[in-house]
Structure 1
Amino acid sequence: MNKRYFIRLSYKGTNYHGWQIQPNAISVQEVLNKALSTILNCEINVVGCGRTDTGVHASDFYAHFDVVQDKQIDCEKLSFRLNRFLPHDIAIKETFQVKEEAHTRFDPISRTYHYLITKEKNPFRKESHWKIPYELDVDKMNEAAKVLFEFEDFTSFSKLHTDVKTNNCKIYQAIWKDKGDELVFVVKADRFLRNMVRAIVGTLVEVGRGKMDLDGFRMVIESKNRSNAGSSVPGYALFLAEIEYPKGLKKDDAS
């Protein structure tokens, strides 16, 4: 039986073609694999808690890897060495040993995403916020966001031809927060479909612009047809903000 470790990290997705390894493009997973394999002097292939698209960021992300039982790892030292080895846009927060059956992708209780919109031109937000040239009715957008709680099947907001077995998700939170010079959409669910958050935001923006009313938003979800929803908003303003796991995953005698 191998030993399993979780790595908690964050990354800026600007320079990467998403988390997952791509045949002809750089990814976060590939960079982390190379760093771990070099430091631990053995081949390491990490498994991530999900897959983020090109340009999407993660302020909270988990990956796990396995090593043979007799290999000793100092978690604090490994985190330090990884941060020295990795580029500036990937940061390791902690490394810890977990039970052998713990899984970063299958065990989360919930995931939370943030989508950021800036109301004014700001050069420091170019790679983290979506600048839109029109006014939005945030109250109507929040009314529409509440409609999401009425449904579980979100086929209308899913990328087509994915390999998932179900398009059902349980949404726990969906709210727009107006912070003056920026809008932040916070959405929390047990799971998300490919492109789901960006499609929801694009459709809610249609409501905010007055191009769709609440009944229209509800009909979009009921139709289970992606072509009825709004366009997918840019990925560079999307952040995977929090992953919640059940208690008891850590191994008491972690080395």
Structure 2
Amino acid sequence: MRYFIELSYRGTAYHGWQTQANGISIQITLEAALSQRLGKPVYIMGSGRTDAGVHAKQQFAHFDSEEPLDITESLIYSLNCMLPEDIAIHAIFPVSDKTHARFSAISRYYQYHITRQKDAFQGTLTYHFRPQLNVDRMNEACTLLLRHTNFQSFSKARANVTHFHCQLEFAYWRYTNVDCLTFHIKANRFLWGMVRTIVGTMLEIGQERMSLEQFEKIILARDRKIAGRAAPANGLYLVEVGYPAEVFRERT
């Protein structure tokens, strides 16, 4: 049987989602807790990989079990007690054997948070960026972004993908208060490093160091070398992963 896990995490202390040799990941931490609690090795597959330092308000993963599990509030509570305080499981529920956390997902929604004022409690959760920004020009750049589907210029060069096309649903900047600015972007898929590079490039536009014409030329060039630097990881959040409604039909 296959089960979905819905979880959230603060990525500050981790070397990203995926298991790797050079540091502790979200994936390996979850697998260790599940394997210990269920008394057998458990391997999970996430809806996507987040980089080191990136956070998730909503993430999904799946794992398989040879026998049906008794999913109770007590089970979830005990798993959360075993996990570090910066990882939280919200639900575990059965899905079809053909449902895949990554390949069945139909959308991902990210936010990037910027604050102009330093905050002693939010330093690892937002990007402290002091320069004044022309947000109207940044939103004009978003309008240009929505006209395109090939985002190779914003993908890390070592991305192991067959194509660089993403269908954007929306992209815009909005102030949440006088000092906090948030970038919202949703698409069917994202490339490795795409959101952070878009943000870094748009910050150049907001500071009027780059024109809208130059921005569109970057998109059309399909060359990562001419885009702006990637914004720091600490401001980026995966906030929603979308699936067809039937994925959740067995959720209780």
Q: How far is the alpha carbon of 1:251 from its aligned partner? A: 5.7
In the superposition, the TM-score normalised over structure 2's length comes to: 0.97
Letter in 2 for 1:147: L
Q: Distance in 1 between matches of 2:224 and 2:102?
A: 25
Q: Distance in 2 between matches of 1:183 and 1:137?
A: 11
Q: Distance in 2 between matches of 1:140 and 1:102?
A: 41
In 2, are the aligned partners of 1:97 and 1:251 still within 8 Å (CA)? no
Letter in 2 for 1:144: A
Q: Which residue of 2 aligns with 1:52?
A: 50
Q: Distance in 1 between matches of 2:204 and 2:154?
A: 14
In 2, are the aligned partners of 1:76 and 1:95 still within 8 Å (CA)? no
Q: Distance in 1 between matches of 2:45 and 2:54?
A: 18
Taking only aligned residues, the RMSD between alpha carbons, in angstroms, comes to 1.3
Aligned residue for 2:245, secondary structure, equals coil
Q: How far is the alpha carbon of 1:250 from its aligned partner? A: 3.6
In 1, are the aligned partners of 2:71 and 2:93 still within 8 Å (CA)? no
Q: Distance in 2 between matches of 1:124 and 1:198?
A: 22
Q: How does 1:118-129 map to 2 (within 5 A)?
A: 118-129=115-126
Q: Distance in 2 between matches of 1:176 and 1:234?
A: 17
Letter in 2 for 1:125: Q
In 2, are the aligned partners of 1:17 and 1:27 still within 8 Å (CA)? yes
Q: Distance in 2 between matches of 1:78 and 1:48?
A: 20
In 2, are the aligned partners of 1:99 and 1:251 still within 8 Å (CA)? no
Q: Which residue of 1 aligns with 2:13?
A: 15
Report percent identity of matched pairs. Answer: 43
Partner deviation per Cα, 1:226-253 (whole Å, 9 max, x = no partner): 111110010011000111110111464x
Aligned residue for 2:121, secondary structure, equals helix
Q: Which residue of 2 aligns with 1:144?
A: 141
Q: Distance in 2 between matches of 1:214 and 1:62?
A: 36
Q: How does 1:1-255 map to 2 (within 5 A)?
A: 3-68=1-66, 70-179=67-176, 180-250=178-248, 252=250
Q: Distance in 1 between matches of 2:248 and 2:169?
A: 26
| Poorly superposed stretches of 4+, deviation over 4 Å | none
Higher mean displacement: 130-139 or 190-199: 130-139
Letter in 1 for 2:156: K
In 2, are the aligned partners of 1:78 and 1:95 still within 8 Å (CA)? no
Structure 1 residues 66 and 251, CA gap change in structure 2 (3 angstroms): farther
Q: Distance in 1 between matches of 2:143 and 2:75?
A: 44
- Which segments of 5 or more consecutive residues in structure 2 lack a partner in the other structure? none
Letter in 2 for 1:73: D
Q: How far is the alpha carbon of 1:75 from its aligned partner? A: 4.2
Q: Say how many residue pairs are matched.
A: 251
Q: Distance in 1 between matches of 2:248 and 2:179?
A: 41
Aligned residue for 2:149, secondary structure, equals coil
Q: Distance in 1 between matches of 2:107 and 2:41?
A: 30
Q: Distance in 2 between matches of 1:163 and 1:225?
A: 15
Q: Distance in 2 between matches of 1:33 and 1:83?
A: 13
Q: Distance in 2 between matches of 1:251 and 1:173?
A: 27
Q: Distance in 1 between matches of 2:72 and 2:51?
A: 29
Aligned residue for 1:142, secondary structure, equals helix
Q: Distance in 2 between matches of 1:145 and 1:72?
A: 45
Letter in 2 for 1:93: H
In the superposition, the TM-score normalised over structure 1's length comes to: 0.95
